[in-house]
Amino acid sequence: MQEPERPLGLGILAVLSFGAALWNIQSAVMLVLLVIGKLNMPEQQAMVAAYQALPEWFRWFLLVVAIAKAILLIGAGIAYFARRRIGRSAGTTYAILSIGESIVATAVFGNFGRDTIIGVLFAVYTLAAVNGIYRTHLKR
């Protein structure tokens, strides 16, 4: 029995997951450089100052979450292409972790910026997509 074609939307979700993973990897690299004291960006002093103003516990929290989200997103993207059940688990775990991170960041700092909105919207869409419209496609 031949399997039906992978929906285009599931392929797009996989590619977006890889893109979000790259975004998290970039964030993790910046945080590692900050933690080890090597963050040197003369052309973006405001960003360096913002990173340095973060409490140390929050830097580590963001670093661990960024690494975990990148791993989950890469795994989910691969599983979406292969239409594996683990894609649902990885996507759901990523979404819950991302929403939780946004809640903590908002509770600690009280600002809800553009990056937070984009992160929450993508997490909510991922959660709805893998447990809704693409649930039947992620069964192997």
53 phi and psi angles, rounded to 5 deg: -80, -15
Mean pLDDT, the chain, integer: 90
Tell whether the model's pLDDT for residue 1 goes beyond 70. Answer: no
Confidence class for position 124, pLDDT limits 50, 70, 90: very high
Tell whether the model's pLDDT for residue 4 goes beyond 80. Answer: no
Residue 111 and residue 30: Cα distance in Å, rounded?
20
Global pTM reads: 0.88
